[in-house]
Amino acid sequence: MLSQQPVSDLIEALRKSRQETLQITQILDESDLERAANHPWFGEKEVGWFLKLLYRHHTMHIYDVRKALETRSPVPHANRFREV
């Protein structure tokens, strides 16, 4: 369970995952961004759409962390970020 792992381990896992994603994007051709890909939540979209989703997902959590720190309370779930 992630909640039982040390924060430093989670940060390192995130760094490794992002680095692997960046390595994959470096070998993609422009035409690859238009290829179809599938996701269990969002369904079939273009690869480029999913790369944008990765960026937005990350920024959504940064926003939530900043808001939680500012208000000193949990940030409720919102669907406004799911519509990308």
The predicted structure's pLDDT at residue 60: 86
pTM of the model: 0.65
pLDDT at 84 over 50: no
Per-residue pLDDT reduced to its tens digit, 33-60? 999 999 998 999 999 999 999 888 888 8
How many distinct structural domains can be found in the chain?
1
Give, for 52, the enclosing helix (H) or strand (E).
helix 47-71
pLDDT at 80 over 80: no
In a domain, 68, yes or no: yes
In a domain, 22, yes or no: no
In a domain, 13, yes or no: no
- Residue 78: give the domain boundaries: 31-84
